[in-house]
Amino acid sequence: MISTGIQRYLYVVVREQAAFVEHRYRINWSRTEFCDKIDEIQNPIAREVLRKFGVKRPIELTTFSDIPAGTGLGSSSAFSVGLTNALHALNGTRVTKYTLATEAAAIELDVLNRTMGKQDHFAASYGSFNVYTFNADETVTVEPVYFVPDVVESLQSRLMLFFIGNQRDASDVLKAQEQATTEKMSILSTMSDMVDPMVEILSGRGELSTIGPMLHESWLLKRSITERTSNAKIDELYRQAREAGATGGKLVGAGGGGFLLFFVEPSLQPDVAASLTDVPFIKPRFDTAGSRITYYEPQRLD
């Protein structure tokens, strides 16, 4: 598969607290938790990552995001990658992006037993454009795409992300997709065949305008895997955008809600925006660095 990240971020702040604080762990997410034992922590990713690192010192963990959770943009994976990165930094250790993605994915897949893949963890860790091959032995081959900057700029100018709501647990949709995988292998194979043409386009050896129809074909294939991928509201919004000028698009993430991505020529974007009345949209820009430490002050309390 080919993947990238966009400049919409989830921030994870981890700071050591003084030894005399009332509670050892303060976890701020959609609610605030005060705990003295790791087992008491309700946020599952925070609990299991802290357990993995054997965190005994008093810490405060705060997370905030540019995008709501459960919208198909990999927020849980970004959180697990970001927290893993932050705790490595707190311990004074540096790891590769591959190790970071692998450790974070193991928390969600192997410890929490969530039905999902590793692709979002690798996208959050690496950023930029990469082709990922998920091997049978659980390893992942990462091949960077050497893109032409002008092509990427042109692609950015033609993308629109519409937030359609319906936040949901992706695991429910992915379970249905997993159950249908065996009988839908030909569909998945056809979708994987689109990777090489996309690499050619980004490398400056293909026609940018073919991305829209390619997205459209990919969406029709994905939609056919299980009826839980789409619904009447999504289908109607997709139809309206296509009639207004979008040459293709797809629902981002597992399905059922979140964001609709469209490829639209700049001159037609006002028409597409007007056709999706009261549906907010953003103009995504691509991220080139992946997960990184933006502020580091380990001896603050010394």
Q: Residue 19: which pLDDT band, with cuts at 50, 70 and 90?
A: confident
| pLDDT tens digits, 244-284 | 999 999 998 777 788 999 999 999 999 999 999 889 999 99
Average pLDDT for 108-131: 94
* Average pLDDT of the chain, as a whole number: 90
Question: Is 279 within 8 Å of 237 (Cβ atoms)?
Answer: yes
Q: What was the pLDDT predicted at 18? A: 86
Q: Residue 145: which pLDDT band, with cuts at 50, 70 and 90?
A: very high
pLDDT higher than 80, residue 26? yes
Q: What was the pLDDT predicted at 300? A: 63
Nearest CA among 279, 255, 253, 263 for reference residue 210 = 263
| pLDDT tens digits, 173-215 | 555 555 555 556 778 788 889 999 999 999 999 999 999 999 9
Q: What was the pLDDT predicted at 169? A: 54
CATH architecture of structural domain 149-286 = 2-Layer Sandwich (3.30)
Helix/strand number for the chain, H first, E second = 11, 13
In whole angstroms, what is the distance from residue 195 CA to residue 286 CA?
Answer: 18
What DSSP state is assigned to residue 18? P
Q: What was the pLDDT predicted at 185? A: 74
Average pLDDT for 135-147: 95
pLDDT higher than 80, residue 136? yes
**Domain range annotation of the chain:** 2-144, 149-286
pLDDT higher than 80, residue 171? no
What stretch of H or E contains 263? Answer: strand 258-263
Average pLDDT for 115-137: 94
Question: Is 273 within 8 Å of 281 (Cβ atoms)?
Answer: yes
Helix residue spans in the chain (DSSP H): 44-53, 75-90, 97-106, 119-126, 149-156, 170-180, 185-192, 195-202, 211-225, 232-244, 269-275
Nearest CA among 62, 79, 164, 174 for reference residue 117 = 174
CATH class label, 2-144: alpha beta
**Stated pTM of the model:** 0.90
- 199 versus 116: the higher-pLDDT residue is 199
Average pLDDT for 105-124: 94
- Residue carrying structure tokens 């659980």: 138
In whole angstroms, what is the distance from residue 221 CA to residue 7 CA?
Answer: 28
Q: What was the pLDDT predicted at 178? A: 54
Q: How many CA atoms lie within 13 A of 87 on its CB side?
A: 26
Burial degree of 7 (CB within 10 A; 0-12, 13-18, 19+):
middle
In whole angstroms, what is the distance from residue 178 CA to residue 195 CA?
Answer: 21
Q: What was the pLDDT predicted at 187? A: 81
Q: Residue 70: which pLDDT band, with cuts at 50, 70 and 90?
A: confident
